[in-house]
A = this chain, B = another copy of it.
Amino acid sequence: MSTFSYPSRLLEDAVEQFAKLPGIGQKTAFRLVFHLLRRPVAEVEAFSQSIERLRKEVKYCQRCNSISDTEVCYVCSDSSRDNTVICVVESIKEVISIEATGQYRGLYHVLGGVISPIDGIGPSDLSLDLLEHRLVQGGIRELILALSPTPEGDTTAFYIYRKFEKFGIIFTTIARGIPIGDEIEYTDTLTLGKSITHRVPFGNGKE
């Protein structure tokens, strides 16, 4: 199927729409549309409506800017969580990943991006005013800067640090090191270097 010649405009439209999604080519798009064509109408409706509803009805938490079905998200409204620590992340993707670890009991702050002059994203495009508002209200002890180790992530982390250091809080960043299960031999030199510089105590019940 090098070139497509569609017997139906409806079919062509649906394939074109799918092919606009990232990582979905023309062939995969056609395969997915062909699959949906053979499913019951109710099932296809459930599919299309779940997407439209999400986009139209989605809300963002008034405190942390994470996606939420309510005004305040389930993390921010959970009184058992440590509300003195905020983990600053780029998007809800990181919130979901960190929540999946079950290792973090503090709150989040979703920036909605990172500073990237090439993409035209400056500090004013991020939810920094909302973060400042949380710091002004007080009670925050620590900001964990959990941004990707890219130039954009590093720039954003540094910008946040400089902007909010006046609050006299602790700034931390997530540990870089050798992933569990990986071999030292195959670890890139930057990561291996970080893992030695930031080595942690061993024995006596630690680590």
> Interface on A for B, CB 8 Å cutoff?
1-11, 13-14, 16-18, 20-24, 28, 30-37, 39, 41, 44-59, 66-69, 73-75, 91-93, 95-97, 99-100
Contacts and interface: CB of A to CB of B under 8 A. Distances in A.
B14 A50 contact: yes
B17 A51 contact: yes
B69 A100 contact: no
How many copies the complex holds: the figure is 2
A207 to B, nearest CB: 21
A10 B99 contact: no
Q: A-side binding surface: helix, strand, loop or mixed?
A: helix
Contact of A2 (B37, B57, B100): B100
Given A9-B69, A21-B35, 13 more contacts: A3-B100, A5-B96, A7-B68, A7-B96, A7-B99, A8-B67, A13-B54, A21-B36, A37-B58, A37-B67, A44-B55, A45-B55, A49-B52
Contacts of A36: 21, 51, 54-55
A33 B9 CA distance: 25
A75 B7 contact: yes
A58 B133 CA distance: 53
Contacts of A51: 14, 17-18, 33, 36, 44, 47-48
28 contacts: A1-B100, A3-B100, A7-B67, A7-B68, A7-B73, A7-B92, A7-B95, A8-B67, A8-B69, A10-B50, A10-B53, A10-B54, A10-B58, A11-B67, A11-B92, A16-B50, A20-B47, A21-B32, A21-B35, A21-B36, A22-B31, A22-B32, A22-B35, A36-B51, A37-B54, A37-B55, A39-B55, A45-B52
B21 A41 contact: no
Contacts of A37: 54-55, 58, 67
B50 A49 contact: no
A49 B44 CA distance: 10
A114 to B, nearest CB: 14
Contacts of A58: 8, 10-11, 37
